[in-house]
Amino acid sequence: MVETRNGGDRKKTITADAAKSPDLQQLQDDMETAKLNYDKLARNDRATMAKFDSMATKVDSVEKKIETIAIDSTARFEALEKQMTFITDVLTRLEDSAVFNQHQGKEIASASQPPRDQVPNPISEPELPHTHVECDDVRVKHEVAVMVEGAATAAEGVTMMTEVE
């Protein structure tokens, strides 16, 4: 509203000349361009945030999987350590108390027994498939057979012992 000379109000109208002003037209074009750029930036920002949220979810999932694997690996390692300790204890007991028969006339005695003279064996026989330990415990026989064979690795020996349990 514009005040007239006699004090009354009237509506101000934009004339065709003012609308065609190059400066005004330039400002309107700049405002339209800025509005389009703002809308484009807002869409890109929303898309970027959606991608970021998706990647954050994936990273969290991978971190949880790694944590689960680490816990599982730690438990397996502890179980393997216990089994290796058990095998070491069994072998120590056997070494202290048992005599391993390999060939007729030849024996491997434990360190706690006095040494014996060994009688030479004139007849050569093929080696036994695995060493026999005289013991009532079937599990100990199996463990010693697996350990003495030499074909199984330490991990396989532990796996075999676990299967017997």
User: Tens of pLDDT along 27-59?
Assistant: 999 999 999 999 999 999 999 999 999 999 999
How much is the average pLDDT of 124-152? 52
Residue 6: inside a domain, yes or no? no
Nearest of 100, 93, 76 to residue 162 by alpha carbon:
76
pLDDT at 69 over 70: yes
Whose tokens are 């290796």? That residue is 84
Residue 14: inside a domain, yes or no? no
One-letter identity of residue 93 = R
What's the pLDDT at 98? Answer: 64
What domain count does the chain have?
1
Residue 15: inside a domain, yes or no? no
pLDDT at 21 over 90: no
How much is the average pLDDT of 71-81? 95
Residue 142: inside a domain, yes or no? yes
What's the pLDDT at 48? Answer: 94
Residue 95: inside a domain, yes or no? yes
In the chain the first and final C-alpha atoms are separated, in Å, by 98
Residue 3: inside a domain, yes or no? no
Specify whether the CB–CB gap between 96 and 113 falls below 8 A. Answer: no
Residue 34: inside a domain, yes or no? yes
Residue 139: inside a domain, yes or no? yes
Tokens of 26: 């330039």
Domain ranges, residue 146:
20-111+131-164
- Render the burial of 136-156: b for 16+ CB within 10 Å, e for the rest: eeeebbebbbbbbeeeeeeee
pLDDT at 78 over 80: yes
What's the pLDDT at 96? Answer: 79
pTM exceeds cut of 0.85: no
C-alpha–C-alpha distance, residues 152 and 160, integer Å = 9
What's the pLDDT at 41? Answer: 94
- Alpha-carbon separation of residue 156 from 69, 129, 146, 148 (angstroms): 22, 18, 9, 13
